[in-house]
A and B are shown apart, each in its own frame.
Chain A
Amino acid sequence: MLIHTDLLRRMLEVCLSNWAFCHLGPQLISHLCKTGAAVLKAMGRIGNETVKGSLNERPEGPELAAEPWPENAALYQQLKEEQILLSDNASSLAVQAFLQMCNLPVRVICRANAEYMSPSGKVPFIHVGNQVVSELGPIVQFVKAKGHSLSDGLDEVQKAEMKAYMELVNNMLLTAELYLQWCDDVTVEEITHPRYGSPYPWPLNRILSYQKQWEIRRKMKAIGWAGKTLEQVLEDVDQCCHALSQRLGTQPYFFNKHPTELDALVFGHLFTILTTQLITDELSEKVKNYSNLTAFCRRIEQQYFEGHEKDSATIAARSSKRPLLR
């Protein structure tokens, strides 16, 4: 069913772009972008609804715990080479790292409309059996319901700290990444706009990326980040890395012997920052200041991603900068 929606989507895009070419007017453009995005979302949801079972419910009860992890579990993200952005790549890598740490096999499938297929609108999402779950938090709970958990050995205080540090990464690192790629004009012009809409024809690509940019900028304003300058944002990233570095200290993982979802999340974000080439190196320089964090990233990569050649994360380990992600 996903293939059919792809075809329908392509037909719709062609029609929409032709229509836009003929009737360019400001009202029509805004109407177009709304309908285009809404239709794409609906397409994605139609694709989801054909999957039997619940879309976004939290799995509860013994009936789901009884099902073992299937072999054909799939993780969906955007196209790796041309489309995916820094923040989405970080989230996706975090989920992949978490699943690797739990020893659960998953295939990574790249789709251009992954964002619209996702039940919550965010990537990555996993398709396991007949369940579709998106974002790291719900995925962790889903995996826990299946009987796999990394944080069972922690006591209450440590669990509180783990949750708090995960929120720290989400609050500071993820928001800083979003700021950099959507609110910094140079980066937006040269990297984000070309990448975000690359699978779609003109003018749909421009419309979609402007719409997303507007949405993200409104959100930044709501949380008070719109007034920040780039220097202040980098300062926040530095503070966050300092806190993480302090907490890690000389231990191999954040909670000593065994990795937890916090390690997966931190790895996902820091590794992506270190290996993504942006306009300037300032962001990755901030992370490189803390040697224990870079050693931590290297250690997790060697341990969990080494065996998979097709995973481009391993190739990145050899070179410090990889031109694949522009």
Chain B
Amino acid sequence: MAAPMELFCWAGGWGLPSVDPDCLAVLTYARFTGAPLKVHRVTSPWRSPSGHLPALRTRDEGIISKPQQIITHLRKQKYNADYDLSATQSADTLAFVSLLEEKLLPVLIHTFWVDAKNYVEHTRKWYAETIPFPLNFFLPNTMHKRHLERLQLIWGDDYMEDEEKLEKELYREARECLTLLSQRLGSQKFFFGDSPASLDALVFSRLAPLLKAKLPNGKLQQHLKSLQNLCNYCTSILSLYFPWDGGDPLTGVPRAAATDGSEAEEDPHKRRKQLLSVLVGLVAMLGYAFLSGIVSIQRGSVGPAGRQPVALEEEEEEEEE
């Protein structure tokens, strides 16, 4: 209990503390339970100890990477948001989590990462701007391919090839899933009464990016916005548990501050890089100059420069003779 655990997660954006649903789920759960976590918001998975985000560095058990395992670990450390739930409510949690994972999450991945317009204009742009050089050239594309392959395996080839069928059936089921969640929530503050549970963390983490991101092709988003109780639910959790991180809808001021901060962080590296490149250029120029004899130091200049023309003349004379 002495040293806090460290969590590495994706940086925030679009008004959220983190843009990735898995990272957001873990963060929200930690906030709900008041677990003391030191949060590192990193901009690339290479900075995390395990190479994947989210990653939790614990004191005794090494590094845990899967969000479900992180939540289980927090629960073992006595930070349990489901403590007050009855047995039926725990069973319901399991069922609704399955519903989210099966029906909603693949369609969300499709909306953000595979749908051509959204991916190019929104997701890739954000990731390319946030991830530092030189990873930003290939990392978004790698992530895109990984998500595409995952969807292909889950849904099968005929859905991926037939856009209309995909739209009609899978998006319809996702909309139905959102409506079902809305009906289950009703007018309650959280899914199981007045205090939040792990199901709330998961639902919030899936819905919040969909709600907040400015997607160009946003049919699913429009359906979510039409479900008023879910929108209120997300905004209330944001304002209650993340008031200074992402609750501010005006992205201007915090964004500017964030970019200044990130620039200041990168500044020593930037300066160093500039200095290094200038030095290398200078050394290369000088070295070439010396080696080819264009520039020479006073002491040695007369000798070699003088001897060579003399040697040439001698050769010419010899040849002539």
Contacts and interface: CB of A to CB of B under 8 A. Distances in A.
Given A218-B153, A222-B149, A222-B153, A161 B101 contact: no
Interface residues of B, number: 28
A278 interface: no
Contacts of B95: 161, 164-165, 167-168, 243, 247
Contact of B98 (A120, A157, A168, A224): A168
B184 A160 contact: yes
A163 B96 CA distance: 9
Contacts of B99: 163-164, 167-168
Nearest to B68: A224
Nearest to B180: A160
Interface string B84-123: 0001101110111011011100000000000000000000
Interface string A178-219: 000000000000000000000000000000000000000011
Contacts of A170: 98, 102
Given A168-B95, A171-B98, A243-B91, A159 B180 contact: yes
Contacts of A120: 156, 158
Nearest to A58: B169
23 contacts: A58-B169, A121-B156, A156-B183, A159-B180, A159-B183, A160-B183, A160-B184, A161-B92, A161-B95, A163-B99, A164-B180, A167-B102, A167-B103, A168-B95, A170-B102, A219-B153, A219-B154, A221-B153, A223-B153, A243-B95, A244-B91, A246-B87, A247-B95
B150 interface: yes
Contacts of B94: 168, 239-240, 243
Given A222-B153, A243-B94, A246-B91, 15 more contacts: A120-B156, A157-B184, A157-B186, A160-B183, A160-B184, A161-B95, A164-B95, A164-B98, A164-B99, A167-B95, A218-B153, A223-B154, A242-B91, A246-B88, A249-B88
A160 B177 CA distance: 8
Contacts of A164: 92, 95-96, 98-99, 180
A248 B317 CA distance: 113
A172 interface: yes
A164 B97 CA distance: 8
B63 interface: no
Contacts of B186: 157
A249 B149 CA distance: 41
Interface in B139-196: 149-150, 153-154, 156, 158, 169, 176-177, 180-181, 183-184, 186
